[in-house]
Amino acid sequence: MRSHVPRDLQSCTPGLSVGAKRSWSKAFGIGLLGLSAMVMASLLMLRSSVAKAQTAPQPNAAGGNAQTVGTMSDVMVSMVYPAANGILLSVYRGGPQDDKEWVAIQRNAVLLAESGSVLMTRGPNAGEWAKDAKTLVDVGAAAYKAAQAKDQNALAAVDQPLNAACTSCHKQYRPYVAGPQQRQGPSHQPSE
């Protein structure tokens, strides 16, 4: 490395011998090299911490660190559809007939409510999407209470709002559910 010490050491170090001036020049160069190494190391550590911060899981609306696994379609097919279908089929068949069926409704209700929460954290948290996702949470909570109380009438009351939330969302985000004249929103599912 080239030192930034002037060639004429006489001008900046009057009164020192030539040997002392050379030692001073060498020490200055080594010190400058050490300082440069420290600056580079600091910059590399800063870059590394910025990169880690950018790739770390970001807190979700609930304040935790969420890690997504599947696509929005996977969430619908794996969580929303089976839970909603289990509740609606039971209602259409006259409601649960024994304790085992009430437990199944209770489990589907929890899954439906929690899937609504997942949809709120992963989709556009505004407008009809948020409203429909919140309806899933509310319907799931109502179905859960109905299952705990074994209340057929309360369970039957979730039919209309559940169907309305599904139909509203599908008209906006599932192009094949409604014809082109009936579509109200974007032609694709929300980004993930």
Q: Region 51-64: what's the mean pLDDT?
A: 46
Q: Region 128-138: what's the mean pLDDT?
A: 91
Above 70 in pLDDT, residue 15? Answer: no
Query: What pLDDT does 70 receive?
Result: 86
Quick one: which H or E segment has residue 75? helix 72-75
Q: Pull the structure tokens for residue 58.
A: 């970001």
> 156 versus 13: which is more confidently predicted?
156
Above 70 in pLDDT, residue 120? Answer: yes
Other residues' Cβ atoms within 10 Å of the Cβ of residue 172? 21
Q: Region 84-105: what's the mean pLDDT?
A: 96
pLDDT band at 110 (very low <50, low <70, confident <90, very high): very high
Mean pLDDT (the chain) is: 75
pLDDT band at 121 (very low <50, low <70, confident <90, very high): confident
HSE (CB half, 13 Å, CA atoms) of 152?
10
Above 80 in pLDDT, residue 62? Answer: no
Quick one: which H or E segment has residue 27? helix 18-55
Quick one: which H or E segment has residue 145? helix 127-149
> 185 versus 29: which is more confidently predicted?
29
Burial of 138 (0-12, 13-18, 19+ CB in 10 A): middle
